[in-house]
Structure 1
Amino acid sequence: MLSAVDAAPRQLRLERDDDATCLGVANPMMSWRRPAGAGAQQAVQVRWTDAGAGGERRTWRVETEESVFVPWPGEPLRSGQRGSLQVRSEHDGGVSPWSEPLRVHVAPLAPADWTAQFITPAVGGGLDDPAPVLTGQLLVEPGLVHARLLLSALGTVRMLLNSRPVGTDVLTPGWTSYQHRLRFHGYDVTDLLTVGRNDLHATLGNGWYRGALTWDLRRDLYGEHLALLAQLELSYADGRTVLHGTDETWQA
């Protein structure tokens, strides 16, 4: 029988980040801060709770003295999977309380997980034109329990959902090596949606993709056309997940 340790592990992270709502790997590395005043750690218990209606719970025990970059102990996570993660540690015959739960939502892990298409204005949107605004609509049914917006662009994008800004970051999706990869961000937009029609407005900017770069202030360095990629994942109480992505129905 293990005796109690008063304090719980703190600052649970996956892949160096305490925000796991757009987790990009199936087998994430785990890190945490050990309980204050506890002795040497001999093992850690890891508990995963699914976010589905059943709330299935699984627990693993890992014998390790490490608390930084501990390998994921369970089966690989799936694209779109949601749940919460907790750890508790064993120290010199004692066991700590469970840590605060870390919310986890796995990002699309393969190209097939995307239904959205890149879209660009058919008219306007040139290098010297005003910043284009792309607009779309979607219908939300009753019973919505969670919604996530995945957002990327060739250029930069500012998204409004029902006239309210999505996220607090700017110059989304940020700098990247455009020849090799394109970054995307994930946002919990559950509180921005209402049952019925919802409006999306995306303003595109040149950013690093098409803006002035290098000592010569060259433009169009990576491409000529701005583009938007946006995908909404709607999770309903009956277990359905409905995807809405940018396509030819959007307007500019």
Structure 2
Amino acid sequence: MEIYVAIDDTDSLEFGATGQSANELRRLIEDKGWGKSEAVTRHQLLLHPDIPYTSHNSSMCFKAVIGGDNLDEFITSAAKFLQETSAAGSDPGLCVAVKERIKNLEELLSFGYKAKVEILSKAEAYKTAEHCGLHLSEHGGTGLGIIGALAGIGLRITGNDGRFQGRIQLGNSGETIAVGEIIAQTEIDEVRSIDGQVLASDETLVIGEKIKSVLLEGKRILLVYREGGAWHSCNNKQLKNY
């Protein structure tokens, strides 16, 4: 079965990283032989003085394919992992969705988008999770992380939100590389300009300092921009809306 797993608020300014925790859950699936997982995406939520968050108020989500008999054991293990490893003072939340069991999909997607622009409550999160048939649970502190975890699921399912966690290694900053090489050497599906032009495999681009990819149309996309007659990989400022 295909599942989506999202977590939020597992870290503090001094300890841990939610992206690292999400990747540990991916490794748990692989190490136990329960199935295979895909890369983690980071989903930016609303930044507001009334919302407590560590640094960026973002949740982490990944897809996996696991055996149906392993679902309950995974959820139990994931909950235990969050309880034992999350930073002191954090408010971790866990959400797990089985794709074929999701109900009221539009409500789930709407919750994800609202979390980017509105202050939402735990009560709204639990109500939405129940309506949509998702597992949602809190594992320490106030449990406010359930809001971001549920939102992360909805946003990942859209296929049009989030940056993939981690950097892509293409070479040294300032070097050039062909698009075809990027596709062959990485998990990038497509290299595309910020205005929508898909680059051909023989075109080249200048490598930036930090290479990040984004989720668009269900694909892992490397976004680039044109400057000085050459293509350049986008920087964090240009990717802030993803």
TM, length-normalised to structure 2 = 0.24
TM, length-normalised to structure 1 = 0.24
- Higher strand proportion (structure 1 or 2): 1
- Higher helix proportion (structure 1 or 2): 2
Which structure has the greater CA radius of gyration?
Answer: 1
